[in-house]
């Protein structure tokens, strides 16, 4: 805005007159597009999702795990698949500061060692499986490892409603169980999770499919590739590319016409080997026995390459945000990450989409702010007595607030109301002289004096009422 030499042009003067000074001089820090700050009720909603998960998944025998937010690129390339959009287009790649300089100079990452090629995790499964291999969590013959996580994930997608670049998932990974009962239990637990979060189960759509395994999928893939090539003149450029690298993704093409054409393509369920067909049938029998409703969607292929056999996805019918969760079996993934052949299954749900979908159903994940006790002093002379009373209550585990801004008693009561305090401890010169405090019930405004020694039990008794 300031022209060279310091002269100000007319438009600058006009702008300066109506704009606050702050606009000219302050750099207003902004969050990255497609990221969100979690605080207040939204933060409590995220914590609530974790609390419900801890209770429910705990009952199914899952323990919490946390893996690093950064992994070597190869962990994702091997696990999620080189040809997936997640790996090709959406992964946030990072290098440390000094290497970044080199990279800029050389203009290529060719000189980087695999250890130096890092990425922010776009999903949780590959990292958890990498951790299971590295820490030998599923030794031969041992019980399965059952792990759950609540973590931020990072995908460089175009931000829109329910699609963020940093989002949060609650997920589970069950490593070492090949039994179709594990697939069914995962799905049953997932549907119970939505119910406990407040969803109306009749307004959720669970879709399932089987994608076959190493024995039958290659031949099926080839059939789909051939189908796409046979219909090349009707398909988009992306699908023609997919035919060679990942033909099954064409079932999910964003182009309506391609999806229309793909309706006649060979379906996985008609191309399963006997073992996969039996596994799928058994999963459905278990789901039926548990009374879980589902729709079979033979075009459900998911966007990650590690899946084998069972895959599933959940949508809120009136949510308008796409899938609120998904998962499946990945019997080959442990080997892809360098471990012994070990079956696995899991799912993940997206916090932000769940919050949106639940709101669309008229529900909410938010839990009320916990109530508190407020300690009010009538003047600065009582500051020390207020300080001690506040400390005593907090040490007894009571959520306690006090004034730190020298407000009047009236504004302290207002503040106490705002914070949802049920009881106020009031301390004035009389109380200090009598070594006592006054307890004020914030609803009835009834006041009682109690000796200082009786503060904690008297407040606790009132809160328990
Ligand atoms: P996913 O289907 O890619 O699966 O993601 C799971 C859920 O994360 C989605 O259903 C959605 O709710 C949420 N989500 C995904 N991308 C975004 C985004 N950009 N913004 C907001 N929410 C998003 C997985 O990640 C697999 N790791 C699940 C799994 C675990 N499979 C086996 N084990």
Q: Which atom of ligand 1 is nearest to the CA of 324?
A: 12
Q: What is the overall mean pLDDT for the chain?
A: 92
More confident residue, 250 or 5: 250
Residue with the nearest Cα to atom 22 of ligand 1?
Answer: 350
Spacing, Cα 298 to ligand 1 middle (Å): 20
Q: pLDDT at position 297, please?
A: 95
Residue with the nearest Cα to atom 1 of ligand 1?
Answer: 326
Spacing, Cα 274 to ligand 1 middle (Å): 30
Q: Which atom of ligand 1 is nearest to the CA of 329?
A: 32
Say what the pTM is: 0.90
Residues near 425 by beta carbon (within 8 Å), at least 6 away in sequence: 373, 374, 375, 376, 389, 393, 437, 438, 439, 440, 455, 459
Q: pLDDT at position 322, please?
A: 93
Interval 368-372 mean pLDDT: 84
Say if residue 26's pLDDT is above 90: no
Q: pLDDT at position 98, please?
A: 84
Q: pLDDT at position 464, please?
A: 86
Q: Which of the listed residues 323, 352, 354 should we mutate to test ligand 1's pocket, taking the one with most ligand atoms within 8 A of CB? A: 323
Q: What is the DSSP letter of 90?
A: I
Q: Which of the listed residues 148, 316, 326 should we mutate to test ligand 1's pocket, taking the one with most ligand atoms within 8 A of CB? A: 326
The whole-angstrom separation of Cα 425 and Cα 410 is 13
Angle, helix 237-245 to helix 217-230, in steps of 10 degrees = 150
What percentage of the chain exceeds 70 in pLDDT? 95
Interval 342-356 mean pLDDT: 98
Q: pLDDT at position 194, please?
A: 98
Residue with the nearest Cα to atom 9 of ligand 1?
Answer: 325
Interval 311-333 mean pLDDT: 96
Pairs from 329-332 (Cβ < 8 Å, separation ≥ 24):
329/183, 330/125, 330/129, 330/306, 331/178, 331/213, 332/213, 332/214, 332/306, 332/308
Q: pLDDT at position 187, please?
A: 98
Residue with the nearest Cα to atom 23 of ligand 1?
Answer: 350
pLDDT band at residue 418 under the 50/70/90 scheme: very high
Q: Which of the listed residues 187, 252, 350, 354 should we mutate to test ligand 1's pocket, taking the one with most ligand atoms within 8 A of CB? A: 350
- Beta bridge partners, 350, equal 169
Spacing, Cα 261 to ligand 1 middle (Å): 27
pLDDT band at residue 439 under the 50/70/90 scheme: very high
Residue with the nearest Cα to atom 11 of ligand 1?
Answer: 350
- Report the run of H or E that residue 310 belongs to, with start and end: strand 308-316
pLDDT band at residue 415 under the 50/70/90 scheme: very high
CB atoms within 10 A of CB 318: 11
For the stretch 148-204, pLDDT in tens is 999 999 999 999 999 999 999 999 999 999 999 999 999 999 999 999 999 999 999
Say if residue 111's pLDDT is above 90: no
Using a 6 Å CB cutoff, which residues line ligand 1? 123-125, 155, 157, 162-164, 167, 169, 171, 173, 303-304, 323-328, 346-350, 352-353
Q: pLDDT at position 24, please?
A: 63
Straight-line distance from the first to the last Cα atom of the chain, in angstroms, rounded to the nearest whole number: 64
Spacing, Cα 348 to ligand 1 middle (Å): 6
Q: Which atom of ligand 1 is nearest to the CA of 162?
A: 21
Interval 275-282 mean pLDDT: 98
Residue with the nearest Cα to atom 25 of ligand 1?
Answer: 123
pLDDT band at residue 101 under the 50/70/90 scheme: confident
Say if residue 14's pLDDT is above 70: no
What percentage of the chain exceeds 90 in pLDDT? 82
Residue with the nearest Cα to atom 16 of ligand 1?
Answer: 163
């Amino acid at each position: 805005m300031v022209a060279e030499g310091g002269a100000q042009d007319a438009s600058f003067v006009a702008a300066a007159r109506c704009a606050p000074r702050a606009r000219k001089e302050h750099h207003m820090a902004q969050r990255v597009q497609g990221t969100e700050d979690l605080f207040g009720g939204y933060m409590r909603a995220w914590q609530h999702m974790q609390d419900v998960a801890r209770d429910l998944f705990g009952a199914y025998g899952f323990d919490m795990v946390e893996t690093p937010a950064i992994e070597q690129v190869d962990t994702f390339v091997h696990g999620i698949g080189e040809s997936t959009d997640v790996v090709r287009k959406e992964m946030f790649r990072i290098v440390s500061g000094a290497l970044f300089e080199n990279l800029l100079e050389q203009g290529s990452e060719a000189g980087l060692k695999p250890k130096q090629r890092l990425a922010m995790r776009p999903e949780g499964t590959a990292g958890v499986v990498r951790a299971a291999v590295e820490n030998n969590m599923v030794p031969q013959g041992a019980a399965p490892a059952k792990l759950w996580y609540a973590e931020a994930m990072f995908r460089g997608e175009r931000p829109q409603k329910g699609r963020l670049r940093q989002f949060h998932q609650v997920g589970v990974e069950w490593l070492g169980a090949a039994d179709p009962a594990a697939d069914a239990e995962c799905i049953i637990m997932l549907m119970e999770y939505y119910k406990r979060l407040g969803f109306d189960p009749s307004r959720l759509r669970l879709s399932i499919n089987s994608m076959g395994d190493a024995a039958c999928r290659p031949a099926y893939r080839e059939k789909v590739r051939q189908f796409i090539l046979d219909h090349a003149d009707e398909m988009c450029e992306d699908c023609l590319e997919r035919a060679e690298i990942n033909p099954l993704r064409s079932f999910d093409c964003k182009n309506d016409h391609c999806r229309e054409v793909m309706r006649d393509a060979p379906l996985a369920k008609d191309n399963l080997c006997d073992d996969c067909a039996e596994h799928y049938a058994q999963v459905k029998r278990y789901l039926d026995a548990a009374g879980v409703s589902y729709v079979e969607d033979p075009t459900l292929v998911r966007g990650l390459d590690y899946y084998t056999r069972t895959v599933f996805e959940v949508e809120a019918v009136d949510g308008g945000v796409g899938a609120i969760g998904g998962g499946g079996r990945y019997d080959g993934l442990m080997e892809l990450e360098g471990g012994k052949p070990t079956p696995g299954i899991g799912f993940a749900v997206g916090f932000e989409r769940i919050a949106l979908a639940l709101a669309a159903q008229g529900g909410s994940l938010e839990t009320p702010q916990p109530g508190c006790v407020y300690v009010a002093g009538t003047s600065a002379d009582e500051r020390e007595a207020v300080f001690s009373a506040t400390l005593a209550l907090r040490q007894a585990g009571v959520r306690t607030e006090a004034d730190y801004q020298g407000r009047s008693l009236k504004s302290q009561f207002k503040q106490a109301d705002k914070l949802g305090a049920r009881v106020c401890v009031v301390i004035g010169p009389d109380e200090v002289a009598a070594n006592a405090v006054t307890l004020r019930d914030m609803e009835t405004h009834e006041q009682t004096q109690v000796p200082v020694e009786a503060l904690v039990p008297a407040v606790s008794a009132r809160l328990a009422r």
